[in-house]
Structure 1
Amino acid sequence: MSVLLLQLAGPLQSWGAASRFARRSTENAPTKSGLVGLLAAAQGRERSDDVSDLAALRFGVRVDQPGVRLRDFQTAHHGDTGEAMPVSDRFYLADAVFLAAFEGDRALVEELHQTLRAPVYLPYLGRRSCPPARPIPQGAVEEDLESALEAHPWLAGEWYQRKRKREAEVELGVWTDVRKGHTADHEQRDVPLSFDQDHRRYSMRGVEYTTVTVPNPQATQAAPLQAAPLVHEPMDALGDE
Protein backbone atom coordinates (compact mmCIF):
# COMPACT_ATOMS: atom_id res chain seq x y z
CA MET A 1 0.00 0.00 0.00
CA SER A 2 1.01 3.62 -0.56
CA VAL A 3 0.43 6.65 1.63
CA LEU A 4 -0.19 10.23 0.49
CA LEU A 5 1.12 12.82 2.97
CA LEU A 6 -0.38 16.30 3.29
CA GLN A 7 0.86 19.34 5.24
CA LEU A 8 -1.97 21.47 6.65
CA ALA A 9 -0.69 24.79 7.98
CA GLY A 10 -2.20 28.26 7.89
CA PRO A 11 -3.20 31.29 9.96
CA LEU A 12 -6.70 29.80 10.37
CA GLN A 13 -8.25 26.38 9.90
CA SER A 14 -11.76 25.09 10.60
CA TRP A 15 -12.82 21.47 10.40
CA GLY A 16 -16.47 21.03 11.25
CA ALA A 17 -18.07 17.63 11.85
CA ALA A 18 -21.11 18.51 13.98
CA SER A 19 -22.02 22.09 13.04
CA ARG A 20 -25.66 22.98 13.45
CA PHE A 21 -27.59 26.07 12.31
CA ALA A 22 -25.81 29.28 13.38
CA ARG A 23 -23.10 27.57 15.44
CA ARG A 24 -20.26 26.51 13.15
CA SER A 25 -17.81 24.58 15.29
CA THR A 26 -14.43 23.04 14.52
CA GLU A 27 -12.84 19.79 15.58
CA ASN A 28 -9.36 19.77 17.14
CA ALA A 29 -7.94 18.04 14.05
CA PRO A 30 -8.84 17.89 10.34
CA THR A 31 -11.83 15.72 9.45
CA LYS A 32 -11.93 13.00 6.84
CA SER A 33 -14.79 14.74 5.02
CA GLY A 34 -12.79 17.99 4.87
CA LEU A 35 -9.75 16.28 3.37
CA VAL A 36 -11.77 14.14 0.94
CA GLY A 37 -13.40 17.37 -0.21
CA LEU A 38 -9.96 18.96 -0.68
CA LEU A 39 -8.80 16.04 -2.84
CA ALA A 40 -12.01 15.98 -4.88
CA ALA A 41 -11.75 19.74 -5.53
CA ALA A 42 -8.11 19.38 -6.58
CA GLN A 43 -9.23 16.79 -9.15
CA GLY A 44 -11.93 19.13 -10.42
CA ARG A 45 -14.90 17.06 -9.29
CA GLU A 46 -18.24 18.79 -8.86
CA ARG A 47 -20.22 18.59 -5.62
CA SER A 48 -22.69 16.16 -7.16
CA ASP A 49 -19.95 13.74 -8.30
CA ASP A 50 -19.32 10.40 -6.62
CA VAL A 51 -16.50 10.45 -4.03
CA SER A 52 -16.80 6.87 -2.74
CA ASP A 53 -13.32 5.95 -4.04
CA LEU A 54 -11.74 8.76 -2.01
CA ALA A 55 -13.85 8.08 1.07
CA ALA A 56 -12.71 4.44 1.00
CA LEU A 57 -9.07 5.45 1.52
CA ARG A 58 -7.82 4.89 5.07
CA PHE A 59 -7.24 8.24 6.78
CA GLY A 60 -5.06 9.50 9.60
CA VAL A 61 -3.83 12.82 10.99
CA ARG A 62 -0.94 13.79 13.27
CA VAL A 63 -1.19 16.88 15.47
CA ASP A 64 2.16 18.63 15.00
CA GLN A 65 1.08 22.00 16.42
CA PRO A 66 -2.37 22.12 18.07
CA GLY A 67 -2.96 25.85 17.65
CA VAL A 68 -5.38 28.04 19.58
CA ARG A 69 -9.17 27.96 19.29
CA LEU A 70 -10.79 31.25 18.20
CA ARG A 71 -14.45 32.31 18.22
CA ASP A 72 -15.74 34.76 15.61
CA PHE A 73 -19.16 36.34 16.22
CA GLN A 74 -20.63 37.28 12.82
CA THR A 75 -23.54 39.45 11.76
CA ALA A 76 -24.83 40.00 8.21
CA HIS A 77 -27.62 41.71 6.25
CA HIS A 78 -29.25 40.99 2.91
CA GLY A 79 -27.74 43.30 0.32
CA ASP A 80 -31.00 44.09 -1.45
CA THR A 81 -33.43 44.47 1.46
CA GLY A 82 -31.12 45.32 4.35
CA GLU A 83 -32.91 42.68 6.42
CA ALA A 84 -30.76 41.19 9.17
CA MET A 85 -29.67 37.57 8.77
CA PRO A 86 -29.25 35.23 11.77
CA VAL A 87 -26.15 35.93 13.81
CA SER A 88 -23.65 33.09 13.95
CA ASP A 89 -20.71 31.82 15.97
CA ARG A 90 -17.84 30.48 13.90
CA PHE A 91 -14.88 28.71 15.46
CA TYR A 92 -11.34 28.37 14.08
CA LEU A 93 -7.94 26.95 14.96
CA ALA A 94 -5.21 29.60 14.76
CA ASP A 95 -1.54 28.76 14.04
CA ALA A 96 -2.18 25.01 13.87
CA VAL A 97 -0.11 22.53 11.86
CA PHE A 98 -1.14 18.97 10.97
CA LEU A 99 0.24 16.08 8.97
CA ALA A 100 -2.61 14.24 7.25
CA ALA A 101 -2.29 10.94 5.39
CA PHE A 102 -4.37 8.72 3.09
CA GLU A 103 -3.51 5.05 2.57
CA GLY A 104 -4.63 3.20 -0.53
CA ASP A 105 -3.80 1.78 -3.93
CA ARG A 106 -0.51 3.04 -5.31
CA ALA A 107 -1.93 4.24 -8.63
CA LEU A 108 -4.64 6.36 -6.98
CA VAL A 109 -2.23 7.75 -4.37
CA GLU A 110 0.28 8.78 -7.05
CA GLU A 111 -2.50 10.37 -9.11
CA LEU A 112 -3.69 12.39 -6.12
CA HIS A 113 -0.16 13.52 -5.35
CA GLN A 114 0.34 14.83 -8.86
CA THR A 115 -3.09 16.47 -8.83
CA LEU A 116 -2.32 18.40 -5.64
CA ARG A 117 0.75 19.91 -7.30
CA ALA A 118 -1.52 21.51 -9.93
CA PRO A 119 -5.08 21.51 -8.51
CA VAL A 120 -8.11 22.38 -10.59
CA TYR A 121 -9.76 24.23 -7.69
CA LEU A 122 -7.57 25.93 -5.11
CA PRO A 123 -7.44 24.06 -1.79
CA TYR A 124 -8.41 25.60 1.52
CA LEU A 125 -8.26 24.42 5.12
CA GLY A 126 -11.87 23.61 5.91
CA ARG A 127 -13.40 26.92 4.78
CA ARG A 128 -12.76 29.19 1.81
CA SER A 129 -11.58 31.91 4.21
CA CYS A 130 -8.72 29.64 5.38
CA PRO A 131 -5.99 29.45 2.72
CA PRO A 132 -2.90 27.29 3.31
CA ALA A 133 0.35 29.02 4.23
CA ARG A 134 2.65 26.21 3.06
CA PRO A 135 2.66 23.69 0.20
CA ILE A 136 0.19 20.90 0.94
CA PRO A 137 1.65 17.83 -0.87
CA GLN A 138 4.44 16.14 1.09
CA GLY A 139 4.94 13.18 -1.20
CA ALA A 140 3.79 9.58 -1.52
CA VAL A 141 5.59 6.79 0.32
CA GLU A 142 5.47 2.98 0.26
CA GLU A 143 4.55 2.39 3.91
CA ASP A 144 1.52 1.67 6.00
CA LEU A 145 -0.43 4.59 7.47
CA GLU A 146 0.95 4.39 11.02
CA SER A 147 4.58 4.06 9.89
CA ALA A 148 4.28 7.02 7.53
CA LEU A 149 2.82 9.24 10.24
CA GLU A 150 5.63 8.26 12.60
CA ALA A 151 8.53 8.60 10.16
CA HIS A 152 7.79 12.04 8.68
CA PRO A 153 9.74 14.99 10.15
CA TRP A 154 8.03 17.26 12.66
CA LEU A 155 6.24 20.07 10.76
CA ALA A 156 5.63 22.53 13.61
CA GLY A 157 6.96 26.06 13.17
CA GLU A 158 10.53 26.72 14.28
CA TRP A 159 9.33 29.09 17.00
CA TYR A 160 7.12 26.30 18.37
CA GLN A 161 9.92 23.74 18.18
CA ARG A 162 12.26 26.10 20.04
CA LYS A 163 9.75 26.32 22.88
CA ARG A 164 10.51 22.64 23.47
CA LYS A 165 14.23 22.86 22.77
CA ARG A 166 15.12 20.89 25.90
CA GLU A 167 13.30 17.87 24.48
CA ALA A 168 15.34 15.82 22.01
CA GLU A 169 12.13 13.97 21.08
CA VAL A 170 8.48 15.05 21.27
CA GLU A 171 5.31 12.99 21.56
CA LEU A 172 2.56 13.83 19.05
CA GLY A 173 -1.06 12.70 19.05
CA VAL A 174 -2.36 10.71 16.08
CA TRP A 175 -5.97 10.04 15.03
CA THR A 176 -6.57 7.28 12.47
CA ASP A 177 -9.41 5.20 11.06
CA VAL A 178 -9.69 2.30 13.48
CA ARG A 179 -7.67 -0.76 12.48
CA LYS A 180 -9.31 -4.14 11.99
CA GLY A 181 -9.45 -5.93 15.30
CA HIS A 182 -8.99 -2.74 17.32
CA THR A 183 -11.54 -0.87 19.42
CA ALA A 184 -12.53 2.67 18.44
CA ASP A 185 -11.74 5.40 20.97
CA HIS A 186 -14.23 7.76 19.37
CA GLU A 187 -16.86 7.86 16.62
CA GLN A 188 -17.26 10.76 14.24
CA ARG A 189 -19.76 11.51 11.48
CA ASP A 190 -17.37 12.68 8.79
CA VAL A 191 -17.31 10.07 6.04
CA PRO A 192 -18.82 11.83 3.01
CA LEU A 193 -21.53 10.01 1.07
CA SER A 194 -22.50 13.08 -0.96
CA PHE A 195 -21.33 16.70 -1.11
CA ASP A 196 -24.41 17.73 -3.11
CA GLN A 197 -25.60 21.04 -1.64
CA ASP A 198 -29.22 19.90 -1.87
CA HIS A 199 -28.62 16.71 0.06
CA ARG A 200 -25.31 16.42 1.90
CA ARG A 201 -24.89 13.07 3.61
CA TYR A 202 -22.25 11.66 5.93
CA SER A 203 -21.77 8.37 7.74
CA MET A 204 -19.98 7.42 10.96
CA ARG A 205 -16.45 6.08 11.29
CA GLY A 206 -14.53 4.65 14.21
CA VAL A 207 -11.47 6.64 15.20
CA GLU A 208 -8.45 5.30 17.06
CA TYR A 209 -6.09 7.50 19.11
CA THR A 210 -2.37 6.75 19.43
CA THR A 211 0.86 8.69 19.85
CA VAL A 212 4.18 8.75 18.01
CA THR A 213 7.57 10.12 19.03
CA VAL A 214 9.55 12.23 16.55
CA PRO A 215 12.93 14.01 16.77
CA ASN A 216 12.99 17.73 17.59
CA PRO A 217 15.35 19.48 15.12
CA GLN A 218 15.58 22.52 17.43
CA ALA A 219 16.68 20.52 20.48
CA THR A 220 19.79 21.76 22.25
CA GLN A 221 21.99 19.87 24.64
CA ALA A 222 22.46 22.01 27.73
CA ALA A 223 26.04 22.02 29.01
CA PRO A 224 26.30 20.28 32.38
CA LEU A 225 26.70 22.61 35.29
CA GLN A 226 30.19 22.48 36.82
CA ALA A 227 30.91 23.84 40.25
CA ALA A 228 33.68 26.46 40.32
CA PRO A 229 36.61 25.51 42.54
CA LEU A 230 36.37 27.04 46.01
CA VAL A 231 39.31 29.38 46.71
CA HIS A 232 39.38 31.30 49.95
CA GLU A 233 42.36 33.22 51.33
CA PRO A 234 41.28 35.36 54.32
CA MET A 235 44.61 37.27 54.49
CA ASP A 236 44.04 38.80 51.03
CA ALA A 237 41.62 41.31 52.56
CA LEU A 238 44.47 42.81 54.62
CA GLY A 239 46.46 43.95 51.61
CA ASP A 240 50.26 43.95 51.44
CA GLU A 241 50.95 45.94 54.58
Structure 2
Amino acid sequence: MSVLTLQLAGPLQAWGASARFARRTTEHAPTKSGVVGLLAAALGRRRSDDLTDLAALRFGVRVDQRGVPVRDYQTAHRFESGKSLPISERFYLADAVFVAVVEGEDDLLDRLHRALRDPVFLPYLGRRSCPPARPIELGVHHDQTLDERLKDEPWRASSWHQRRNRESMVTLETIVQADDVAGPVDTLRDQPLSFDPLHRRYALRAIRHHQVRIPNPAARRPVTDHDPTAVLRGQ
Protein backbone atom coordinates (compact mmCIF):
# COMPACT_ATOMS: atom_id res chain seq x y z
CA MET A 1 0.00 0.00 0.00
CA SER A 2 1.08 3.58 -0.72
CA VAL A 3 -0.17 7.10 -0.01
CA LEU A 4 -0.64 10.04 -2.36
CA THR A 5 -0.46 13.48 -0.75
CA LEU A 6 -2.40 16.46 -2.10
CA GLN A 7 -2.23 20.17 -1.35
CA LEU A 8 -5.59 21.94 -1.61
CA ALA A 9 -5.12 25.71 -1.51
CA GLY A 10 -6.94 28.50 -3.30
CA PRO A 11 -8.72 31.84 -2.92
CA LEU A 12 -12.03 29.98 -2.58
CA GLN A 13 -13.01 26.38 -1.89
CA ALA A 14 -16.40 24.70 -1.50
CA TRP A 15 -16.86 21.13 -0.28
CA GLY A 16 -20.55 20.30 -0.07
CA ALA A 17 -21.87 17.14 1.57
CA SER A 18 -25.52 18.01 2.18
CA ALA A 19 -26.09 20.97 -0.17
CA ARG A 20 -29.52 20.93 -1.76
CA PHE A 21 -31.54 23.14 -4.09
CA ALA A 22 -30.88 26.91 -3.74
CA ARG A 23 -28.75 26.74 -0.57
CA ARG A 24 -25.29 25.32 -1.33
CA THR A 25 -23.31 24.96 1.87
CA THR A 26 -19.74 23.80 2.42
CA GLU A 27 -18.09 21.57 5.00
CA HIS A 28 -15.19 23.07 6.93
CA ALA A 29 -12.76 20.61 5.25
CA PRO A 30 -12.55 18.75 1.91
CA THR A 31 -14.94 15.84 1.44
CA LYS A 32 -14.03 12.46 0.03
CA SER A 33 -16.54 12.86 -2.79
CA GLY A 34 -14.96 16.18 -3.78
CA VAL A 35 -11.41 14.83 -3.81
CA VAL A 36 -12.43 11.64 -5.64
CA GLY A 37 -14.12 13.85 -8.23
CA LEU A 38 -10.90 15.85 -8.62
CA LEU A 39 -8.89 12.64 -9.12
CA ALA A 40 -11.43 11.21 -11.58
CA ALA A 41 -11.28 14.44 -13.61
CA ALA A 42 -7.48 14.31 -13.73
CA LEU A 43 -7.72 10.76 -15.14
CA GLY A 44 -10.21 11.93 -17.76
CA ARG A 45 -13.18 9.97 -16.49
CA ARG A 46 -16.70 11.07 -17.35
CA ARG A 47 -19.33 11.60 -14.67
CA SER A 48 -21.11 8.39 -15.67
CA ASP A 49 -17.95 6.24 -15.48
CA ASP A 50 -17.38 3.64 -12.78
CA LEU A 51 -15.85 4.96 -9.53
CA THR A 52 -15.31 1.70 -7.67
CA ASP A 53 -11.50 1.82 -7.56
CA LEU A 54 -11.32 5.50 -6.53
CA ALA A 55 -14.12 5.22 -3.98
CA ALA A 56 -12.25 2.33 -2.31
CA LEU A 57 -9.27 4.58 -1.46
CA ARG A 58 -8.89 5.38 2.23
CA PHE A 59 -9.11 9.14 2.76
CA GLY A 60 -7.89 11.62 5.35
CA VAL A 61 -7.44 15.38 5.51
CA ARG A 62 -5.50 17.82 7.68
CA VAL A 63 -6.66 21.39 8.28
CA ASP A 64 -3.50 23.46 7.80
CA GLN A 65 -5.24 26.85 7.46
CA ARG A 66 -8.89 26.92 8.40
CA GLY A 67 -9.98 29.78 6.17
CA VAL A 68 -12.90 32.17 6.51
CA PRO A 69 -16.51 31.23 5.60
CA VAL A 70 -18.06 33.58 3.03
CA ARG A 71 -21.52 33.73 1.48
CA ASP A 72 -22.35 34.58 -2.12
CA TYR A 73 -25.87 35.77 -2.98
CA GLN A 74 -26.76 34.88 -6.58
CA THR A 75 -29.56 35.76 -8.96
CA ALA A 76 -30.11 34.49 -12.52
CA HIS A 77 -32.58 34.69 -15.41
CA ARG A 78 -33.45 32.34 -18.23
CA PHE A 79 -31.98 33.66 -21.48
CA GLU A 80 -34.94 32.76 -23.68
CA SER A 81 -37.81 34.04 -21.53
CA GLY A 82 -36.14 36.43 -19.09
CA LYS A 83 -37.92 34.60 -16.27
CA SER A 84 -36.17 34.84 -12.92
CA LEU A 85 -34.64 31.70 -11.47
CA PRO A 86 -34.72 31.01 -7.71
CA ILE A 87 -32.37 33.13 -5.65
CA SER A 88 -29.52 31.00 -4.37
CA GLU A 89 -26.97 31.19 -1.58
CA ARG A 90 -23.53 29.68 -2.06
CA PHE A 91 -21.06 29.32 0.77
CA TYR A 92 -17.28 29.11 0.39
CA LEU A 93 -14.08 28.94 2.41
CA ALA A 94 -11.70 31.81 1.66
CA ASP A 95 -7.90 31.51 2.06
CA ALA A 96 -8.03 27.92 3.32
CA VAL A 97 -5.24 25.36 2.97
CA PHE A 98 -5.60 21.60 3.45
CA VAL A 99 -3.43 18.53 3.11
CA ALA A 100 -5.39 15.53 1.81
CA VAL A 101 -4.03 11.97 1.68
CA VAL A 102 -5.42 8.91 -0.11
CA GLU A 103 -4.16 5.40 0.61
CA GLY A 104 -4.37 2.51 -1.81
CA GLU A 105 -2.58 0.17 -4.21
CA ASP A 106 0.77 1.29 -5.61
CA ASP A 107 -0.19 1.10 -9.30
CA LEU A 108 -3.35 3.16 -8.90
CA LEU A 109 -1.64 5.88 -6.87
CA ASP A 110 1.22 6.11 -9.34
CA ARG A 111 -1.31 6.61 -12.16
CA LEU A 112 -3.10 9.28 -10.14
CA HIS A 113 0.19 11.02 -9.43
CA ARG A 114 1.01 11.21 -13.15
CA ALA A 115 -2.52 12.36 -13.97
CA LEU A 116 -2.35 15.25 -11.49
CA ARG A 117 0.81 16.45 -13.20
CA ASP A 118 -0.87 16.35 -16.61
CA PRO A 119 -4.66 16.29 -16.01
CA VAL A 120 -7.16 15.55 -18.77
CA PHE A 121 -9.75 17.84 -17.16
CA LEU A 122 -8.57 20.80 -15.10
CA PRO A 123 -8.92 20.28 -11.33
CA TYR A 124 -10.97 22.54 -9.09
CA LEU A 125 -11.54 22.74 -5.36
CA GLY A 126 -15.10 21.49 -4.99
CA ARG A 127 -16.75 23.80 -7.57
CA ARG A 128 -15.70 24.90 -11.04
CA SER A 129 -15.42 28.49 -9.82
CA CYS A 130 -12.68 27.48 -7.35
CA PRO A 131 -9.35 26.90 -9.14
CA PRO A 132 -6.29 25.86 -7.10
CA ALA A 133 -3.61 28.45 -6.37
CA ARG A 134 -0.75 25.95 -5.95
CA PRO A 135 0.29 22.63 -7.48
CA ILE A 136 -1.95 19.90 -6.06
CA GLU A 137 0.30 16.83 -6.00
CA LEU A 138 2.89 16.53 -3.24
CA GLY A 139 4.18 13.09 -4.16
CA VAL A 140 3.65 9.39 -3.58
CA HIS A 141 5.11 7.70 -0.50
CA HIS A 142 5.48 3.94 -0.75
CA ASP A 143 6.73 3.41 2.79
CA GLN A 144 4.10 5.21 4.86
CA THR A 145 0.49 4.90 5.98
CA LEU A 146 -2.11 7.61 5.71
CA ASP A 147 -1.94 8.44 9.41
CA GLU A 148 1.85 8.65 9.35
CA ARG A 149 1.83 11.01 6.35
CA LEU A 150 -0.62 13.37 8.04
CA LYS A 151 1.84 13.63 10.94
CA ASP A 152 4.99 13.97 8.81
CA GLU A 153 3.90 16.29 5.99
CA PRO A 154 5.31 19.82 6.57
CA TRP A 155 2.90 22.58 7.52
CA ARG A 156 1.46 23.96 4.27
CA ALA A 157 -0.24 27.10 5.59
CA SER A 158 0.54 30.40 3.86
CA SER A 159 3.77 32.07 4.97
CA TRP A 160 1.89 35.02 6.49
CA HIS A 161 -0.26 32.61 8.48
CA GLN A 162 2.80 30.76 9.76
CA ARG A 163 4.45 34.05 10.82
CA ARG A 164 1.39 35.04 12.82
CA ASN A 165 1.83 31.94 14.99
CA ARG A 166 4.72 32.42 17.43
CA GLU A 167 4.81 28.83 18.66
CA SER A 168 7.46 26.39 17.46
CA MET A 169 4.82 23.62 17.21
CA VAL A 170 1.23 23.96 15.98
CA THR A 171 -1.75 21.70 16.66
CA LEU A 172 -3.75 20.82 13.53
CA GLU A 173 -7.05 18.99 13.17
CA THR A 174 -7.21 15.79 11.13
CA ILE A 175 -10.33 14.06 9.81
CA VAL A 176 -9.62 10.44 8.96
CA GLN A 177 -11.76 7.69 7.49
CA ALA A 178 -12.59 5.20 10.26
CA ASP A 179 -12.12 1.61 9.14
CA ASP A 180 -13.00 0.34 12.62
CA VAL A 181 -16.35 1.75 13.76
CA ALA A 182 -15.90 0.51 17.32
CA GLY A 183 -15.93 3.47 19.67
CA PRO A 184 -17.10 7.02 18.97
CA VAL A 185 -17.29 7.99 15.30
CA ASP A 186 -19.04 10.66 13.26
CA THR A 187 -20.65 10.11 9.88
CA LEU A 188 -20.67 12.17 6.70
CA ARG A 189 -22.61 11.44 3.52
CA ASP A 190 -19.67 11.88 1.16
CA GLN A 191 -18.80 8.33 0.09
CA PRO A 192 -19.29 8.57 -3.70
CA LEU A 193 -21.25 5.85 -5.47
CA SER A 194 -22.05 7.64 -8.72
CA PHE A 195 -21.46 11.13 -10.16
CA ASP A 196 -23.93 10.54 -13.00
CA PRO A 197 -26.01 13.77 -13.27
CA LEU A 198 -29.12 11.65 -13.81
CA HIS A 199 -28.67 9.81 -10.53
CA ARG A 200 -25.98 11.07 -8.17
CA ARG A 201 -25.56 8.77 -5.18
CA TYR A 202 -23.56 9.04 -1.97
CA ALA A 203 -23.33 6.78 1.08
CA LEU A 204 -22.51 7.50 4.70
CA ARG A 205 -18.87 7.28 5.73
CA ALA A 206 -17.50 6.92 9.27
CA ILE A 207 -14.86 9.48 10.28
CA ARG A 208 -12.80 10.30 13.33
CA HIS A 209 -11.37 13.65 14.39
CA HIS A 210 -7.83 13.75 15.74
CA GLN A 211 -5.04 16.27 16.27
CA VAL A 212 -1.39 16.25 15.23
CA ARG A 213 1.54 18.44 16.28
CA ILE A 214 3.56 19.92 13.40
CA PRO A 215 6.72 22.10 13.52
CA ASN A 216 6.26 25.73 12.54
CA PRO A 217 9.09 26.73 10.15
CA ALA A 218 8.38 30.44 10.76
CA ALA A 219 8.40 30.29 14.57
CA ARG A 220 10.10 33.23 16.25
CA ARG A 221 13.07 31.97 18.19
CA PRO A 222 14.01 33.85 21.37
CA VAL A 223 17.18 35.90 21.33
CA THR A 224 19.63 34.74 24.02
CA ASP A 225 22.82 36.27 25.43
CA HIS A 226 21.99 39.65 23.90
CA ASP A 227 24.01 42.60 25.19
CA PRO A 228 22.62 45.88 23.83
CA THR A 229 25.80 47.78 24.82
CA ALA A 230 28.22 45.43 23.03
CA VAL A 231 28.29 47.64 19.93
CA LEU A 232 29.41 50.61 22.06
CA ARG A 233 32.38 48.63 23.34
CA GLY A 234 33.43 47.52 19.88
CA GLN A 235 32.44 43.91 20.53
In which range does the TM-score fall when normalised by the shorter chain?
A: over 0.9
**Deviation for aligned residue 1:226:** 8.1
Partner of 2:5: 5
Partner of 1:203: 203
CA–CA distance in structure 2, aligned partners of residues 225 and 101 of structure 1: 43
**Deviation for aligned residue 1:80:** 1.3
Deviations 1:121-158, CA, capped at 9 Å, x for gaps: 00000000000000000000021000011101100000
36-45 or 180-189, larger mean C-alpha shift: 180-189
Partner of 1:186: 186
Q: Per the alignment, in what secondary structure is the counterpart of residue 133 of structure 1?
A: coil
CA–CA distance in structure 1, aligned partners of residues 156 and 140 of structure 2: 16
**Deviation for aligned residue 1:184:** 4.6
CA–CA distance in structure 1, aligned partners of residues 10 and 54 of structure 2: 24
Partner letter of residue 161 of structure 1? Answer: Q
CA–CA distance in structure 2, aligned partners of residues 56 and 132 of structure 1: 25
Partner letter of residue 110 of structure 2? Answer: E
CA–CA distance in structure 1, aligned partners of residues 187 and 78 of structure 2: 38
**Deviation for aligned residue 1:222:** 2.0
CA RMSD of aligned residues (A): 1.6
CA–CA distance in structure 2, aligned partners of residues 225 and 198 of structure 1: 70
Partner letter of residue 108 of structure 1? Answer: L
Pairing of 1:166-181 with structure 2 (within 5 A): 166-180=166-180
Q: Per the alignment, in what secondary structure is the counterpart of residue 33 of structure 2?
A: helix
Normalised TM-score (structure 2): 0.93
CA–CA distance in structure 1, aligned partners of residues 22 and 183 of structure 2: 34
CA–CA distance in structure 2, aligned partners of residues 22 and 140 of structure 1: 39
CA–CA distance in structure 1, aligned partners of residues 226 and 12 of structure 2: 46
Partner of 1:145: 146
Normalised TM-score (structure 1): 0.91
CA–CA distance in structure 1, aligned partners of residues 150 and 76 of structure 2: 41
CA–CA distance in structure 2, aligned partners of residues 225 and 190 of structure 1: 55
**Deviation for aligned residue 1:21:** 1.0
CA–CA distance in structure 2, aligned partners of residues 208 and 85 of structure 1: 39
Q: Taking structure 1 as reference, are residues 56 and 184 closer, same or farther at Cα in structure 2, changes over 3 Å only?
A: farther
CA–CA distance in structure 1, aligned partners of residues 107 and 117 of structure 2: 16
Partner of 2:50: 50
Pairing of 1:105-116 with structure 2 (within 5 A): 105-116=105-116
Pairing of 1:26-37 with structure 2 (within 5 A): 26-37=26-37
Equivalent residues of 1:15, 1:126 under 8 A apart: yes
Partner of 1:87: 87
Structure (1 or 2) with the larger CA radius of gyration: 1
Partner of 1:124: 124
Partner letter of residue 134 of structure 2? Answer: R
122-131 or 177-186, larger mean C-alpha shift: 177-186
Pairing of 1:209-228 with structure 2 (within 5 A): 209-223=209-223
| Identity across matched positions, percent | 57
**Deviation for aligned residue 1:179:** 3.4
Partner letter of residue 152 of structure 1? Answer: E
Partner of 1:15: 15
**Deviation for aligned residue 1:224:** 5.4
State how many pairs are aligned. 228
Partner letter of residue 208 of structure 1? Answer: R
Deviations 1:75-109, CA, capped at 9 Å, x for gaps: 11111111000000100000000000100111111
Partner of 1:231: none
Equivalent residues of 1:194, 1:202 under 8 A apart: yes
**Deviation for aligned residue 1:181:** 5.8
**Deviation for aligned residue 1:180:** 2.4
Partner letter of residue 202 of structure 1? Answer: Y
